[in-house]
Structure 1
Amino acid sequence: MAVAPAVLALGGDVARPVRLTVSDLLSWPQHRVRVTFECATSGVRHHGFAGPLLHDVLCDAGPGFDPARRKDRLRFLIAVSGTDGHRALLSWAEIDPDFAHAPVLLAVGIDDTSLDGAGPQLVLPQDRCGARYVSGVNAIRVDGRYGPWA
């Protein structure tokens, strides 16, 4: 019996909430990275990942900031959770080309193996520690309620 592909729910302060599979994520330009990071339980890890940039996927969902006001994006946070309960939080400025422009991926493959059954993996090539790598991503929430005015 075939196993249904894992589904990622992308929502929050976006114009077009969407449910995506690894197959859906192949429709964005794919990027490849080789990473080395430290894992608290298994030491130094080396992997190759492929997938779209998180920024590209989130922009297609229509984040709720005013694109004409560059600083408006700075109040947006991105919460990512995985099927095992692991969570990570990023700021929009980390992935935005006008700010830190970190090449954060929603990986669809690891070491040339598809993640279709497990779900995409959040990959932060700039991180020395692997704590923000989230496997089996099943939810991403974009939230712009933060700041002193909240």
Structure 2
Amino acid sequence: MSTVPDDLRYSKEHEWVRADGDTATIGITHFAQEQLGDVVFVELPEKGASVRQFSSLGVVESVKAASDIYAPVSGEIVERNVKVIEKPELVNSQPYGDGWMVKVRLADKGELAQLLSADDYRSHIGETAGAGGD
């Protein structure tokens, strides 16, 4: 089974976006969490904060490293996932589920077209379609 869901858009910095109307849910990919190792801390912006495409929106720290989370789209934070702040391990166990980071009201839906499709992201990380992540 692929570790890259087909219904999402991806950044080259390993964030994913699930667009629903004018709201986008953002998280880090399975590949990113695997590279980081066990996530122990997540820092996210407050509701109401503005983010710009490809600028830092938060930090994820693991036992190995600290890494910025980059906004794959511009907009206003409408919700941050308090669960991942309280239980950072959700980023490892459910990167596309309960491990999401923030929800953003999209400033420009056209930015989604600048992101990678699932197939393009698989090529970016060297995963073949249908292959596992290990």
TM normalised by structure 2 equals 0.26
Structure number with the higher helix fraction is 2
Larger radius of gyration, structure 1 or 2? 1
